[in-house]
Structure 1
Amino acid sequence: MERNRQTYRFLLLYALAAAGGAIAYVPFLTILLPMRITDIGGSNDVEWLAYVTFAGAVTASLANILFGWLSDLTRNRKYWVIGGLIGSSLLLTAMSQVKSIEMMIVLVVVWQFALNMMLSPLAAWAGDCVPDSQKGMLGGLLSFSPAMGAMAAALITYPGLASQDTRLLIVASMVTICVLPAILFGAPKKFPELESSPQNTAPSEPVSSIARSTILRMWVARLLIQISEAALFAYLYFWFRSIDGSMTDSNVARIFSVILVGSIPLALIVGRWADRTNRPIVPLPVNAALAGIGLLAMALSNSLETAIGGYVLFGLTSAVFLALHTSQTLRVLPKPERRGRDLGIFNLTNTGPSLVVPWLTLALVPLFGFSSLFFLLAGLAFLASLLLIRLPKIS
């Protein structure tokens, strides 16, 4: 039995590397970049941050597909990961020298290019090394990544720890410490069946209509949940303040942190259950439906307690959904020879919502309030659940 399982050493080191990937962008995009934009752009910081974020998101989307495809062609993920690690780390530390908004946009675009040279092959590497019988556990381990990214952001902004420029160097160092051990010491077992199509299936053979339907449903379901995630990530603080003016940014940050940490054991338990029962997809529609219920509670809440309760339910179940969806996506992709490219296409569900959510929010909230937004997001979550319930059985 053990011969058909990847080593725990690789799984743990890979989870650490994936967390390093989150550390590479969460502190910078959520805290360090906005602070730098304010220093350079002054009173126009919000407008300039929107331009920088938009350019970065478009670049990340295209670069993730490109480097996934290139790592497919070369059949070597590790070299691309190392190259992206070096390039993104150097570019990150160079941000401290930028003196103009125009140069910041250019540097962020190039940094996103290098960052996705690391992230895309790193994601595909898991598909090359982790058999289907352990993909639930892999999903549980991947739930560490968002928490590690948030913890890194909290650490580098601790009062008196480091100057603004030194923080960039600290982030780059943390990423290197997390990613390199998997590259140098992971030594994963080889599973030839994971790295190429079966002998009776040519790489160029068309994908069946059932497989295409499964992939499309998985893609759309993740996009719908990610839209809800992105909306709450951006506007959660404003919503809590609209319910109770005494809520501070520190209160919201603590709630957010508790949810991220709490989702880790929950994702590990659910992922292990999916492996043991050979029911890999079942947790996905269940968690999507529970996330929808949480959003309905938020839409209907008229007190801080019910608002927090609804958000906790949504936050925990959506975090488990996203972690397990990431690992189970590796199961349904039909062509190992195209795994990196296909994961890059799935990555559009991560970057796309950041381009959609601001306009969605502006269209609803000023006229109808936050409740209208949450009703819509709940509908999207229930639709995601319905799409996945109707998937054909996957073993």
Structure 2
Amino acid sequence: MSEQLAAQPAGERQHLRFMLLYALAAAGGAMAYVPFLTILLPVRVEAMAGGQHVSWLAYCAFAGAVMASLSNVLFGWLSDKTGKRGLWVAAGLVLTCALLPAMALAEGLPALLGLLVAWQLGLNMMLAPLAALAGDFVPDRQKGFLGGLLSLAPAMGAASGVLVTIPGLAGPDTRLALVAVLVAACVLPLLLFGRPRAFPELMASVPRREGPVDPRPRQVVVRMWIARLLVQIAEAALFAYLYIWLRSISGRIEDNDAAQVFGVVLFLAVPATLLVGRWADRANRPILPLAICAAVTGAALLGMAGAADLPLALTGYAVFGLASSIFLALHSAQTLRVLPRPQHRGRDLGLFNLTNTVPSLVMPGLTLAMVPVFGFGGLFVVLAVLVILAAALLFSIPRPE
């Protein structure tokens, strides 16, 4: 991909073709894990484990998160060192698409965990360099628009879950193969036809400074990291247990119903994120929308904690899903703005990716400690407190000059 670049004058914007193909590839990345982790894996575990499905899901989340944490940093660093991000994306795509259908071979928890760990390795071989590509080729003046486009990823991931769980379309094993085909169809166009414009300022190495260093940029990075971690703890809990929580309120909810709820909320977030992202670009207020969305997410969790029937639960989740989706998409884009050294972009994004994976290490223990004693309502109150703290951290970040 990089061999076809030509330097552009200052003020140029990345062309729309690359932006759209990148958004499609990011959507393919989401398709690789959203339907599997939210619907297909819980349904398979429920069928395999019976009454132990909550603890089995906790074990799966823990093992997968450990491998995802390590492999994302590793492959981000390797893509920095080699400068061949496209090759790493392609290799990860092959492994991901091969291992998804292999999940059907698992007959017990050890085999399922082994396949899950191997799949996470391949998945993050694809996702880590793919994330760094946006930092390599999208200038700061388009970061809000990039965030809006990135909101397509979870929506398309949810849509793939709706598609593969249509009753009568495919059996449990065939669903995994269908997901693999969808992932390849979305990621390959970027690798084959991306041809992004080059922006030398995005790739210029920043040397380490000697003597006193202004601490404010580092403080912004730390606050951004902690805020996303806190929001992602809440997101991870709903990501893994949305289906089970809805089933606890109404036994009439089926796997396809849960996928539809998840998908509708995420698709509503797409136009909202595009509008908010474009406003953030024009007003030069990259952090303010993040703070507001975090505050709304916390309020929605409090509403979900008190939901006693299905309509209230779905309304609370709709607000939660909308606000948190806008937050996560815009945060991913604005993170590229604050990272200090382009030559370590892949590695640093891998460290930021810990905010996506560490919650899966925290969430199982938190869920197992809270839900049996206090129910999901008690869990949601704790999550609301964490997310409101995230909002406070983001409101404390000064406006850029």
TM norm structure 1: 0.90
Deviation per residue, 1:325-378 (Å, 9 max, x gap):
000000000011111111111111111112222322333344344443333222
Compare 90-99 and 380-389 and name the one that shifted more: 90-99
Q: Are residues 83 and 253 of structure 1, via their aligned partners in 2, closer, same or farther at CA, if it must alter by over 3 Å?
A: closer
Deviation per residue, 1:153-206 (Å, 9 max, x gap):
221122232333333322221111100111111110001111123xxx415769
Q: 1:248 maps to which residue?
A: 253
Deviation per residue, 1:122-171 (Å, 9 max, x gap):
00100000000001011011111111111112211222323333333222
Compare 293-302 and 281-290 and name the one that shifted more: 293-302
Q: Are residues 84 and 297 of structure 1, via their aligned partners in 2, closer, same or farther at CA, if it must alter by over 3 Å?
A: same
Runs (5+) with no aligned partner, structure 1 = none
Instruction: Work out whether residues 203 and 335 of structure 1, in 8 Å CA contact, stay in contact via their aligned partners in 2.
Output: no
How do 1:84-103 and structure 2 match up within 5 A? 84-99=92-107, 101-103=109-111
Aligned residues: 391
Pick one of 308, 318, 336 that aligns with 1:312. Answer: 318
| RMSD, aligned CA | 2.6
Q: 2:5 maps to which residue?
A: none
How do 1:129-144 and structure 2 match up within 5 A? 129-144=137-152
Compare 164-173 and 383-392 and name the one that shifted more: 164-173
Deviation per residue, 1:29-86 (Å, 9 max, x gap):
3333345556766776654444333222110110000000010111221111011111
Q: 1:202 maps to which residue?
A: 207
Instruction: Work out whether residues 52 and 108 of structure 1, in 8 Å CA contact, stay in contact via their aligned partners in 2.
Output: yes
How do 1:126-205 and structure 2 match up within 5 A? 126-197=134-205, 201-203=206-208
Q: Distance in 2 between matches of 1:369 and 1:263?
A: 28
Give the counterpart letter for 1:394 in structure 2. Answer: P
Residue 285 of structure 1 and its aligned partner are, at CA, apart by 0.5
Instruction: Work out whether residues 203 and 337 of structure 1, in 8 Å CA contact, stay in contact via their aligned partners in 2.
Output: no
Partner SS, residue 340 of structure 2? coil
Q: 1:345 maps to which residue?
A: 351
Runs (5+) with no aligned partner, structure 2 = 1-8
Does residue 285 of the first structure (1) align with residue 291 of the second (2)? yes
Q: 1:275 maps to which residue?
A: 281
How do 1:1-395 and structure 2 match up within 5 A? 4-37=12-45, 47-99=55-107, 101-197=109-205, 201-203=206-208, 208-237=214-243, 239-240=245-246, 245=250, 248-249=253-254, 252-301=258-307, 305-394=311-400
Q: Distance in 1 between matches of 2:346 and 2:377?
A: 39
Q: Distance in 1 between matches of 2:258 and 2:124?
A: 30
Instruction: Work out whether residues 72 and 350 of structure 2, in 8 Å CA contact, stay in contact via their aligned partners in 1.
Output: yes
Q: Distance in 1 between matches of 2:40 and 2:246?
A: 24
Q: Distance in 2 between matches of 1:369 and 1:92?
A: 33
Q: Are residues 179 and 288 of structure 1, via their aligned partners in 2, closer, same or farther at CA, if it must alter by over 3 Å?
A: same
Instruction: Work out whether residues 67 and 120 of structure 1, in 8 Å CA contact, stay in contact via their aligned partners in 2.
Output: yes
Partner SS, residue 352 of structure 1? helix
Instruction: Work out whether residues 89 and 125 of structure 2, in 8 Å CA contact, stay in contact via their aligned partners in 1.
Output: yes
Q: Distance in 2 between matches of 1:43 and 1:231?
A: 19
Partner SS, residue 170 of structure 2? coil
Instruction: Work out whether residues 78 and 183 of structure 1, in 8 Å CA contact, stay in contact via their aligned partners in 2.
Output: yes
Give the counterpart letter for 2:120 in structure 1. Answer: Q
Q: Distance in 1 between matches of 2:99 and 2:31?
A: 15
Q: Distance in 2 between matches of 1:40 and 1:312?
A: 30
Residue 307 of structure 1 and its aligned partner are, at CA, apart by 4.1
Deviation per residue, 1:214-267 (Å, 9 max, x gap):
11100110011111112233444555566x647624655443322111111000
Q: Distance in 1 between matches of 2:269 and 2:261?
A: 12
Compare 233-242 and 1-10 and name the one that shifted more: 233-242
Compare 233-242 and 320-329 and name the one that shifted more: 233-242
Q: Distance in 2 between matches of 1:361 and 1:245?
A: 20
Q: Distance in 2 between matches of 1:138 and 1:300?
A: 36
Give the counterpart letter for 1:385 in structure 2. Answer: A
Give the counterpart letter for 1:333 in structure 2. Answer: L
Compare 309-318 and 284-293 and name the one that shifted more: 309-318
Instruction: Work out whether residues 143 and 263 of structure 1, in 8 Å CA contact, stay in contact via their aligned partners in 2.
Output: yes
Partner SS, residue 235 of structure 2? helix
Q: Are residues 383 and 161 of structure 1, via their aligned partners in 2, closer, same or farther at CA, if it must alter by over 3 Å?
A: same
Compare 107-116 and 139-148 and name the one that shifted more: 107-116
Instruction: Work out whether residues 250 and 310 of structure 2, in 8 Å CA contact, stay in contact via their aligned partners in 1.
Output: no
Q: Are residues 11 and 31 of structure 1, via their aligned partners in 2, closer, same or farther at CA, if it must alter by over 3 Å?
A: same
Instruction: Work out whether residues 147 and 260 of structure 1, in 8 Å CA contact, stay in contact via their aligned partners in 2.
Output: yes
Q: Distance in 2 between matches of 1:306 and 1:101?
A: 35
Partner SS, residue 285 of structure 2? coil
